[in-house]
Structure formats: C-alpha cells, structure tokens
Chain A
Amino acid sequence: GNSVTQMEGPVTLSEEAFLTINCTYTATGYPSLFWYVQYPGEGLQLLLKATKADDKGSNKGFEATYRKETTSFHLEKGSVQVSDSAVYFCALSDHTGTASKLTFGTGTRLQVTL
C-alpha cells in the first residue's frame, strides 16, 4: 500500500534559518505529491504540490521537488519566519478509482523563535 514517511519533529529554528523537512514515499504508479500546513486550531491548507517527476512546487518561499529516483519530496525554505510555525504534512494521491485518496505522513511540527 501507499505510505508517506516524514522526519520526526518538533523542529525548532531561529528566525531566518534554513528549513528542510524530509519526506519520502512509497506508492505504485505515479502519484501526485503535496505539502499541507496546519496552523494552530485550524484545518489544513495546501502549501504546494507537484504532479510529475522533476516538477517543483513552490509557494510563500517554500519549495519542494518531486524526485522519483529517490522517492522524495523534501520541503525547503531559505529563511523561516515566526509566522511559519505550524505543523507540516507531506501527502500523496495515487489517482486510483473515482476518488483520489490522500495518504498523509505523520506531520512535522515547526517552531520558529526570534
């Protein structure tokens, strides 16, 4: 079956530090890959996505590249802000059936301090 593995958190960084959150996946075929962000007390928001190999998703300074050879989709940001503090979820969708189910990783909590 499908699975998504994320690095365990929490990750604590100082403001303006470089961020990497690792994500690897196992899936049949060619899934689409996503990063979602969840701010405290809120639902999930789509941060970025990539639908095929070598695609780079980007949004709000965050980037992730779909690497089929390493089955990875690591999230990066060059300079984090306190407002980036949230839980980040890596997810995949395998496009099977009539409804494409999402498989989520366990989430990585990011805490950015001044």
Chain B
Amino acid sequence: GAVVSQHPSWVICKSGTSVKIECRSLDFQATTMFWYRQFPKQSLMLMATSNEGSKATYEQGVEKDKFLINHASLTLSTLTVTSAHPEDSSFYICSASFPLGSYEQYFGPGTRLTVT
C-alpha cells in the first residue's frame, strides 16, 4: 500500500515552454503533498507543501509564479514549471502523507526534466 506515482517519468522541453508534472496517490487519500527538487548527486530540497483544496506553502527562495502547484483533490497534485529555462533542469520528486500531520511521507519515483 501507500503507492505514489508520477507522470511523466522524464520530459524534455524547449526553453520558454511550460511543463506539467502529475503526482498521484494510488491507494490512499493524501491530505498533504510535498514537492522536492534534487540536483545531481545532491540532497532533496523541499520546494513547497500543499494541502488539498488550499494554496501551497512555498519554501523561501522558491518562485511561486514559476513553479505552480495545484492540489485539487486528495489523490492528485500537479507541479507546472512555467517558462522553463535550462537551469530548471532537475529531478523533481513528490511525496504524500496521511493522515493530516503524519510524520511519514511516501515518495513518487520522480520526474527528470531537461530543458533545452
């Protein structure tokens, strides 16, 4: 149980375009979802936290207008990278937790974004 999927697993886009990444909890209702960014051979950096039906809380230094997060249902959150640039190329990972306030997170397999 507690499976989280991400789609797509990898995507290549041209500079200036936008790309949407989906994160789904397959067998549970995720009260909270998290989005991380991982640079090569580095740790995970938390970008934002979102609760279903409310606005995401972004970490300091993360551009809200560039990384749009929507958590429209208890099983789906999306991250849209708007006007992508090569420096946005990275591995994006989502996680989900339940019930509200739970300390345990279940991670998706990640999405590799390459901006050319």
Number of interface residues of B (CB under 8 A): 24
Q: Interface 1/0s, chain A 82-114, versus B by CB < 8 A?
A: 000000010001010111111011110100000
Q: Interface 1/0s, chain B 24-51, versus A by CB < 8 A?
A: 0000000010100000011110100101
Residues of A bordering B, CB below 8 Å: 32, 36, 42-46, 49, 51, 89, 93, 95, 97-102, 104-107, 109
Which of B14-22, B61-69, B76-84, B99-107 binds A? B99-107
Residue B115 is within 8 A (CB to CB) of chain A in the complex: no
Residue B75 is within 8 A (CB to CB) of chain A in the complex: no
Question: Does the CB pair A89–B43 fall under 8 Å?
Answer: yes
CA distance A106 to B107 in the complex (A): 17
Question: Does the CB pair A95–B103 fall under 8 Å?
Answer: yes
Question: Does the CB pair A44–B93 fall under 8 Å?
Answer: yes
CA distance A52 to B33 in the complex (A): 24
Q: Nearest chain B CB to A94's CB is how many angstroms away? A: 9
Question: Does the CB pair A98–B32 fall under 8 Å?
Answer: yes
Asked if A99 meets B110 with Cβ closer than 8 Å, knowing A44-B44, A105-B43, the reply is no
CA distance A22 to B51 in the complex (A): 34
Chain A residues near B49 (CB-CB < 8 A): 99, 101
Chain B residues near A44 (CB-CB < 8 A): 44, 93, 95, 107
Chain A residues near B97 (CB-CB < 8 A): 99-100
